[in-house]
């Protein structure tokens, strides 16, 4: 059987990993500044994470959500404490798209409305509602097309006010990434996030903060949206939550009441996933990884700002983006194939850095060193 060919692949096979280093099948060592697409939060193969999963595996890996799974409550308690959203409720699922799908659906259950506001260059996942709120026609099949989603220009306050004035009581939710990831590390402004909160309150819509890529501590705040000092009604999470073990979820504000069977899942919140997610939060706390993300992120930004060809440097903590001039369009692939550094991209010419929050200063310097060498030999 052939694999269904959905991605252009790098001709590299990674077999082993530790911290921010991965090794291919020839034993070549690579620096991982991409974190497997922002997924590796506490570092590859963290010993505490491995031990927690192994210990759980020796007890029970899975049973259905028809029984009490105490690990889910432990995870909810820990998440409440680390995120500061203690009074929120947790619903667990398996991926970022699923988290957003449930968030959008729950908002519609809650206020009985259909319209969703999303923004240009947004990426919210590939399931049906999530993809219809994603601003890339290539990802939507005809069956995903609907007239519920209104796309507005990102950070355009006047357009947002206009839209609420026009559709007011039809708007169910506004979904926004605190920092757009796939869209190229574009930050939502503080005033824009506050305006979303204000208009949602005024019109009875729900504010959904997509924290799948920009959340879970990566920017130094648990949710990057927190920078605005206002709460969302629903936060979606995935990627860093399990450090590679598939798990996602939504945090739901206390004013949203649950109803049996509105949301559900077979695999979400299984024993193994909860064990992995608990290990992540424990390590984040013990090793002060959100503080580390700020410190190493600032250091990277400072070092990058001194490099001539680095344009439009932006981001916070360990979610950093910069643009390359046309003359250096091959730099990313040369970094990977000649200098052995994984980075992320955003079309057309943005480099995205999404390393583990445990990235050390030495590893950050190693990246800068390899980047400079790649530029010098361009």
Site for ligand PLP, rule CB under 6 A: 95-97, 100, 123-125, 177, 181-182, 210, 212-213, 238
Output 135 or 371, the one with its CB closest to ligand PLP. 135
Q: CB of residue 15 vs ligand PLP: minimum separation in angstroms?
A: 23
Q: CB of residue 372 vs ligand PLP: minimum separation in angstroms?
A: 29
Q: CB of residue 48 vs ligand PLP: minimum separation in angstroms?
A: 23
Output 43 or 96, the one with its CB closest to ligand PLP. 96
Output 22 or 97, the one with its CB closest to ligand PLP. 97
Output 56 or 213, the one with its CB closest to ligand PLP. 213
The three-state DSSP-derived secondary structure of the chain is: CCCCCCCCCCCCCEEEEEECEEEECCCCEEEECCHHHHCCCCCECCHHHHHHHHHHHCCCCCCCCCCCCHHHHHHHHHHHHHHCCCCCEEEEECCHHHHHHHHHHHHHHHHCCCEEEEECCCCCCCCHHHHHCCCCHHHCCHHHCCCCEEEECCCCHHHHHHHHHHHHHHEEEEEEECEECCCCCEECCHHHHHHHHHHHHHHCCEEEEECCCCCCCCCCCCCHHHHHCCCCCEEEECHHHHCCCCCEEEEECCCCCCCCCCCCCCCCCCHHHHHHHHHHHHHHHHCCHHHHHHHHHHHHHHHHHCCCCCEEEEEECCEEEEECCHHHCCHHHHHHHCCCEECEEECCCEEEECCCCCCCHHHHHHHHHHHHHHHHCC
Q: CB of residue 212 vs ligand PLP: minimum separation in angstroms?
A: 3
Q: CB of residue 218 vs ligand PLP: minimum separation in angstroms?
A: 11
Q: CB of residue 236 vs ligand PLP: minimum separation in angstroms?
A: 7
Q: CB of residue 104 vs ligand PLP: minimum separation in angstroms?
A: 12
Output 90 or 250, the one with its CB closest to ligand PLP. 250
Output 251 or 374, the one with its CB closest to ligand PLP. 251
Ranked by CB distance to ligand PLP, the top (closest) residue is 96
Output 238 or 363, the one with its CB closest to ligand PLP. 238
């Amino acid at each position: 059987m052939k694999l269904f060919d959905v991605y252009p692949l790098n001709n590299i096979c990674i077999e082993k990993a530790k911290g921010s280093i991965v090794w291919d099948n020839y034993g070549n060592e690579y620096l991982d500044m991409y974190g497997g697409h922002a997924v590796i939060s506490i570092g590859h193969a963290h010993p505490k994470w491995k031990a927690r999963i192994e210990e759980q595996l020796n007890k029970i890996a899975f049973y259905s959500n028809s029984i009490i799974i105490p690990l889910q409550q432990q995870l909810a308690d820990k998440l409440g404490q680390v995120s500061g959203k203690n009074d929120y409720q947790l619903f667990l699922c398996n991926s970022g798209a699923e988290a957003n799908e449930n968030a959008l659906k729950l908002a519609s259950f809650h206020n009985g409305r259909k319209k969703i506001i999303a923004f240009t260059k947004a990426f919210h996942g590939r399931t049906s509602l999530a993809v219809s709120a994603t601003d890339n026609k290539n990802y939507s099949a005809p069956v995903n097309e609907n007239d519920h989603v209104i796309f507005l220009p990102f950070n355009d306050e006047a357009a947002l006010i206009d839209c609420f004035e026009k559709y007011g009581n039809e708007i169910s939710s506004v979904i926004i990434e605190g920092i757009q990831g796939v869209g190229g590390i574009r930050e939502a402004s503080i005033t824009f996030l506050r305006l979303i909160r204000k208009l949602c309150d005024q019109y009875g819509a729900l504010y959904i903060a997509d924290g799948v890529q920009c959340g879970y501590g990566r920017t130094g705040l648990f949710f990057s949206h927190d920078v605005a000092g206002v709460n969302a009604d629903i936060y979606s999470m995935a990627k860093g939550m399990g450090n590679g073990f598939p798990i996602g979820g939504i945090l739901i504000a206390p004013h949203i009441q649950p109803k049996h069977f509105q949301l559900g899942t077979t695999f979400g919140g299984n024993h193994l996933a909860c064990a992995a997610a608990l290990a992540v939060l424990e390590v984040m706390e013990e090793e002060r990884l959100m503080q580390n993300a700020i410190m190493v992120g600032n250091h990277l930004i400072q070092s990058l700002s001194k490099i001539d060809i680095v344009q439009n440097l932006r981001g916070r903590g360990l979610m950093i983006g910069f643009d390359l001039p046309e003359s250096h369009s091959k730099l990313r692939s040369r970094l990977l194939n000649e200098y052995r550094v994984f980075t992320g991209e955003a079309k057309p010419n943005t480099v995205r850095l999404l390393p583990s929050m445990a990235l050390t200063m030495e590893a950050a310097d190693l990246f800068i060193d390899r980047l400079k060498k790649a530029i010098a030999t361009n």
